[in-house]
Amino acid sequence: MPPIPRQSSLRPESGQRPWQALVHEIIYEADTPAGKAFDVLLLILIIGSVAAVMLESVPSIGDRWGDELRVLEWVFTILFTIEYVLRLICVLKPMGYARSFFGIVDLLAIIPTYLTLLPIEQSLQAALVIRSLRLIRVFRIFKLAQYLTEADSLLIAMRAAAAKITVFLVIVTSVVLIMGSLMYIVEGDPNDPTNQFTSIPKGVYWAVVTMTTVGYGDVTPQTWLGQTLAAFSMIIGYSIIVVPTGIFSVEVIRAMDKSLSTRSCPSCSKYGHADDAKFCKHCGAPL
């Protein structure tokens, strides 16, 4: 069941000043009405900013409304800059947030607009689409427990399955190299002007396309032996494609057994704490 909205979590033992704790609660957490309202407003600004960048790339719209869209983009950039500065000053370890994934994304979301002030010929406006990555925060807005749980479960599952998936990819890469080399041996006739398998890398490319069931059809075997090998590669592709799915599914089921909240650590700004956690599981700071 969804967690019950909690009261203010401002704690003097966290080491934050009262105003820092208040700003931190509003910006980083969504358990309070103010925090939820901030996240909703932020989401609207993100969508509006990405929409403005995309509309400006349309020639008919850019020619007519280009100046207005650029002014609007500067408004978004200034607001995002204020938000980024507030995120840094309300945490105990600003560099920890600055080096985090969302910290880097937040910085990249504002840098391109300021770079347009420099005498650079190539426009950097298209780089602002990176703001769409910030839409991941939508999981904290709706305050439905299953959304946050699913998001953190995916991250936990990916970390747990990393070793198994790596071994799987090594095996698949070996099979692809073998199949590509065999196809080059079978089909790679240097005296045939219609030969499509002109090198081992070309054969490996064909093996990747075939075994992943993409099947572009731009490179195809012509001999019966090559076609037999191709059929065998397709069967292998269908057989191994379910392996990573099974591995990842098992890890997701294990990760979903944990109950997590939206609380953010005031020190390291990381999420994913249990509902009854008193201290951050990453740095040990009080929550």
The phi-psi region of residue 84 (left if phi > 0; otherwise alpha if psi is between -120 and 50; otherwise beta) is alpha
Whether residue 73 contacts residue 113, with contact meaning beta carbons closer than 8 Å, is answered with: yes
pLDDT digits (tens, 9 = 90+) for 147-170: 444 556 677 777 778 888 888 888
pLDDT digits (tens, 9 = 90+) for 71-89: 998 898 899 899 899 989 8
B/e letters for 100-110, b = 16+ CB within 10 Å, e = fewer, are: eebbeebeebb
SS3 278: coil
Contacts of 121 (CB under 8 A, 6+ apart): none
pLDDT at 75: 92
pLDDT of residue 193 exceeding 80, the answer is no
Whether residue 110 contacts residue 81, with contact meaning beta carbons closer than 8 Å, is answered with: yes
| Of the candidate ranges 21-30, 37-46, 125-134, 270-279, the one whose mean pLDDT is the lowest | 125-134
pLDDT digits (tens, 9 = 90+) for 10-27: 444 456 678 888 888 888
Number of other residues whose CB lies within 10 A of the CB of residue 5: 12
User: Interior CA angle at 275 toward 272 and 278, to 5°?
Assistant: 90
Contacts of 13 (CB under 8 A, 6+ apart): 286
Number of other residues whose CB lies within 10 A of the CB of residue 21: 19
Element of type H or E holding 226: helix 224-240
| Arithmetic mean of pLDDT, 59-71 | 87
